[in-house]
Structure 1
């Protein structure tokens, strides 16, 4: 993975916390990163080039200008005033190359001096075993602070550890060995006939990313929420709020953001396409 810096831009050593999405159902992680970039007034410093990410191109996602800058599949942003680095991913990873992509991300994080990586992602609501909506939308987390995935700070924030994480379960263990270079992709063929429901979670992109950052001894925290396909904007606000709480920020404390409110990205105006042609009715 190579970072192509824009003219007169450079990596800021003070931005030691990296927030990025892991693609999953409803694209909630990407939408949450959109909110964080727009609200923190983060500036794009460059594009990341990785052969494992499918190509795409589009217009500027955050500017109201009629002539914006082109956006690419993988971009790096920084908000020095808030000590944050952010990566936005706009296209999926080539099938079968998720672990290689995650390894490249982990190497980039090490090379750029990141101390804490926060991964934002979503889980399929249909697999939620214990449904309790009494406290509203629930944030689940996974951390490498302790061997069982627990983290005291996350617990104090009222989040629930992802109970499906078991470092001794075969697929989680395989991911860990693969991230450390002690296994190969071919070894997965030996496991495929024995995979069950419990293997859903370690098969998701966030799990590969978690394992690869963990293998590099970088502090990594996954923030997760259950959702279904549809209008996932409320879930994105919820996940972005959680990321802010973890790093001690909020829209009220974002420097350069007047009014203390979330800034809605310009690209969200067309998230669900244009309104219907009323002449049809």
Structure 2
């Protein structure tokens, strides 16, 4: 079970009625990089973190956009002044799963900075759905990326590398926006033999851990049938499961999927951020911001280290 730990002074009831945007750790880390752009540009306030035993714990210096100090609103102080803050500039830290919110309370973002424990992503998805249900978000927008090498013919012929998966609970106005942008729903991608075998092993493992007289035994099989109602997202992390669970729980969720390959995925993240902005209008710069050159997405400093430091040229002489 995960637990939301609010920042001092934040009331979790402020989640109610907001739109939640979160990434699924997927191929190329495109959703996480897109979330980085949103956090850097919108300067959201960090309102808490989520502790979950199914996510690998990490700790590091807080990220911030280029041209800003580490004491900006993109960073946040540690809860206490214990030994964990020692050696970190200003005691500012980033954690594995953090929660942010816009000052007007319209947008709530979750950023996941580390992967889930092997074979535990379904547990993390289950816990997130409970958090979403308890928080009473107005709607959920899930960002995911899918393996570009697994595209079928119709997807290869399409000029748009982005697809979406709607839930029946989404408002008609949002669906009209998606159609107006020319976006298409995600087509079903056939499973490989390895994926079929993995799904069978996972289901057998879950059923084996449940007592035969436990009603949860049938729920494991039911969850699998629910999952099959959502198109497959190759290398999309827990996106398919989270979407199916939210849909089954009556939660309005939109999953936006970008096809990508491993490599320099910064352009993919910028493209996905532009698509998301066209759908939700999360970033509408003022005329003054445009004149000041602040109309574009702000790249965080952490992107400077995405692929390590450059090699010293002397080694080639």
Is the structural similarity TM-score above 0.5? yes
Partner of 1:249: 282
5+ residue gaps, structure 2, are 71-88, 191-195, 207-215, 225-230
Counterparts of 1:101-180 in structure 2, within 5 Å, are 101-130=124-153, 131-132=156-157, 135=159, 137-145=160-168, 151-164=175-188
Q: What SS class does the counterpart of residue 212 from structure 1 fall into? A: helix
| Deviation for aligned residue 1:25 | 0.6
Q: Which has the larger radius of gyration?
A: 2
- SS at the partner of 2:254? strand
Q: Contact 1:123/1:225 (CA < 8 Å) preserved in 2?
A: yes
- 8 Å CA contact 2:16–2:135 kept in 1: the answer is no
Report how many aligned residue pairs link the two structures: 260
Alpha-carbon distance in structure 2 between the residues aligned to 1:41 and 1:235: 21
Does the CA-based 8 Å contact 2:169-2:253 persist in structure 1? no
Q: How has the CA–CA distance of structure 1 residues 56 and 234 changed in structure 2, closer, same or farther, with 3 Å as cutoff?
A: same
1:121-162 residue CA offsets vs partner (Å, 9 max, x unmatched): 1111111123136x4x42100011279xx9443222211110
Q: Which of 221, 228, 236 is equivalent to 2:254?
A: 221
Residue in 1 aligned with 2:11? Answer: 10
Contact 1:15/1:79 (8 A) holds in 2: no
1:207 has 2:230 as partner: no
Matched, 1:183 2:183: no
Question: 1:275 and 2:310 equivalent?
Answer: yes
Structure 2 length-normalised TM:
0.72
2:100 maps to 1:77: yes
Q: 1:187 to 1:155 in 2, by over 3 A?
A: closer
Write the distance in 1 (CA, Å) between the matches of 2:233 and 2:255. Answer: 16
Residue 250 of structure 1 deviates from its aligned partner by 3.0
Name the residue aligned to 1:195.
Answer: none
**TM-score, normalising length: structure 1:** 0.81
